[in-house]
Structure 1
Amino acid sequence: MQTRTPLTVITGSLGSGKTTLLRHILSSIPQKIAILMNEFGEIAIDTKIIQGKNVAMADLGGGCVCCSLLGEFEAAVDEIIDTVNPDIIVVETTGVAEPDALVFDIQESLTKVRLDGVITVVDADAMVKYPSIGHTTRMQIEAADIILLNKVDLVTEEQLQAIEAKLQSFNEVAEIVRTQRCQVDLDLLFGIARERLQPEPHHVHQPEFESFSYTTQAILKRECFEGFADKLLEKDVYRAKGFIRFTDRVYLFNFVAGRWELEPFDRDATELVFIGKQVKKYQQEIIDHLKKCEQ
């Protein structure tokens, strides 16, 4: 009898640190690993961040793996097993995915894999700034076997304790692990193999967020762009990510809930995705501002 390949689901809200966790896993794990990514936005930024690593990848692209892409997901898993035969499969869902349908599908339809565990990444800083837990975030927390409470360096101990109490009110079983930049002992994440009975979901998924993208071959003026980034929250942007080409080099740009950072990265051109609940009403204004930053 063929051994079923363990599959781990990584979920969590937009900008919580899921791709940062993947980068940590890829830099630390010795086993052969395959990754399926389901991104929100027209440009697969996260896939491009991971590309080039010694890893097999499949990108599920524009749509939500928790509902409209389930058929593509099943086909991608089967193809990866048949062509790569990895030791571990990791699925990173989009930040707007509700994982219950995915978990049900893995257990009911995928005979070549077994669900090893669901890892939910929670942004401590965003939990303080936006304390109201939406439906999708609640489902992500409830589905978790392990909750990585990330960005703990950005909040106080008192705030952390309040966040942990809130998380435990939604999920009494999951272990909560505090992390900075998702630095965690990988032995905690793999080999969970928790038995679970996942009922068939009956929800109609209504994404709360919308997105648009911006690309250019032009070089941007750094000071102009940094001033632009400082005011993104005023334009209803909750999450922005991508690559920025300045005079000296290209940088990876990460923006979440008003905080942003730049990291040197090996890419050729500027590619950005902007995500927010009503962000498209500011689309032209944002693009016009970026064009002003071009040299």
Structure 2
Amino acid sequence: MKILVISGFLGAGKTTFIQTLSEKTGKTFAVMENEYGSTGIDGNILKQDRLKVWELTEGCICCSLKSDFASSILTIANTADPEYLVVEPTGVGLLSAVMNNISKIEYERIRLLEPITIVDVHCVDSYLKEFRELYTDQIKKASQIILSKTETVSENEISCIVRILRDLNPQAKITSEPYNTQKPEWWNSFFENLYNKNKAELAAEPMHSSDLENTGFDNIRINSVNELLEVLAALMYGFFGTVFRAKGYVPISGQWTKFDVVNKQYRVSLCNKMPESKVIVIGRNLDYGLLRTAFNVNPEIDIL
């Protein structure tokens, strides 16, 4: 079993990239999903692509969940035994620590591939200021860096971002063009390059950003698109606290809708029917009571 780690900070677009990876390569692979917080969102999205998904929540596989993480990988290898396992760590974990944890159980039947980091071009400056240690670790330890959400960004802005990333990691391959436009051989290369851990500088003391809070709710209700947009705007502009990431899905007038907030931007799109409506919010100084009210959560349902 070959293991491909796809890293990236909060909202970078890791799940979207994994969906595209499945579509473009046509390969059958399993996915291990590590959400930050107790509410799993992305697992249900990936399962709709008929991917086999294992979810680990309420901890980070780079530290507090590392024993469960290692045991899960061994279990997957010994039972399901897929040819490839894609690991999507939580956005607030050290990539070096994740690679270190996997390397400890690597043997002839479990091989590590070169890790990838997805970078949201809209968040580079702000995340370097707010989360420098975590953010730079994910960049410095990647063999390949792929820019996401470049569609509305000028060539000059992208060139500046590439220079910043190149200064942090001179050896990494950096893809600044939209990854949807890449040729099949580019996609297939991810599954071919083995990780050379002998040259890697791995983390001695895994850690993650413990000052971030998260809360999640199941069975949320939104009555109209306008109501959803008002909630998303309130999330972005600090009405519920400092929000770095929020995501979820909910039916509105019979149509399932997926929403996503990253820093000061939001996206809304239609999606297939989900098992239940839910949301997770990650940030600082969150007002849980106001969030419950905004998402029309039944007061008898406890905060997750």
Question: What is the TM-score with the length of structure 1 in the denominator?
Answer: 0.89
1:32 aligns with 2:28: yes
Structure 1 residue aligned with 2:261, among 255, 259, 268? 255
CA change 1:182–1:257 in 2 (3 A) is farther
Aligned partner of 1:116 among 104, 113, 124: 113
- AA aligned opposite 1:196: K
Asked if 1:233 is matched to 2:236, the reply is yes
Aligned to 1:98: 94
* Alignment of 1:138 onto 2:127: no
Ranges of 4+ aligned residues in structure 1 off by more than 6 Å: none
Check whether the contact 1:124–1:154 (CA below 8 A) recurs between aligned residues: no
The RMSD of aligned alpha carbons is 2.1
Which of 243-252 and 177-186 deviates more?
A: 177-186
The 1-side partners of 2:87 and 2:290 are apart by 35
Q: Which amino acid aligns with 1:252?
A: K
CA distance in 2, matches of 1:199, 1:177: 23
* Residue of structure 1 equivalent to 2:170: 172
Distance in 1 separating the partners of 2:138 and 2:254: 40
Distance 2:80 2:26 in 1: 16
**Correspondence for 2:152:** 154
TM-score norm. by structure 2 comes to 0.87
Cα deviation, residue 129, structure 1: 5.1
- Separation in 2, partners of 1:221, 1:142: 43
Matched, 1:213 2:211: no
The alignment partner of 2:214 has SS state of strand
Counterpart CA distance in 2 for 1:179 and 1:104 is 30
Q: Which moved more, 1:69-78 or 1:117-126?
A: 69-78
How far did residue 8 of structure 1 move?
Answer: 0.8
Match of 1:49?
45
* Residue 193 of structure 2: aligned partner: 192
Structure 2 unaligned spans of 5+: 298-304
Which residue does 1:275 correspond to in 2? 282
Closer/same/farther in 2, CA of residues 279 and 25 from structure 1, 3 Å limit: farther
Asked whether the equivalents of residues 221 and 296 of structure 2 are also in contact (C-alpha less than 8 Å), the reply is no
Equivalence for 1:201? 203
Query: What residue identity is the alignment partner of 1:80?
Result: I
Q: In the alignment, is the contact (CA less than 8 A) between 1:119 and 1:144 conserved in 2?
A: yes
Aligned-partner Cα distance in 2 for 1:181–1:199: 28
Alpha-carbon separation, structure 2, partners of 1:215 and 1:229: 17
Q: CA deviation at 1:199?
A: 4.7
Task: State the alpha-carbon separation in 1 of the partners of residues 62 and 125 from structure 2.
Answer: 27
Q: 1:105 to 1:228 in 2, by over 3 A?
A: closer
Deviations 1:149-168 (A, max 9, x none): 11112322222111111111
Judge which range, 238-247 or 51-60, deviates more: 51-60
Contact 1:24/1:183 (<8 A) preserved:
no
- Which secondary structure state, in structure 1, belongs to the residue aligned with residue 113 of structure 2? strand
Answer yes or no: is the 8 Å Cα contact 1:13–1:96 preserved in 2: yes
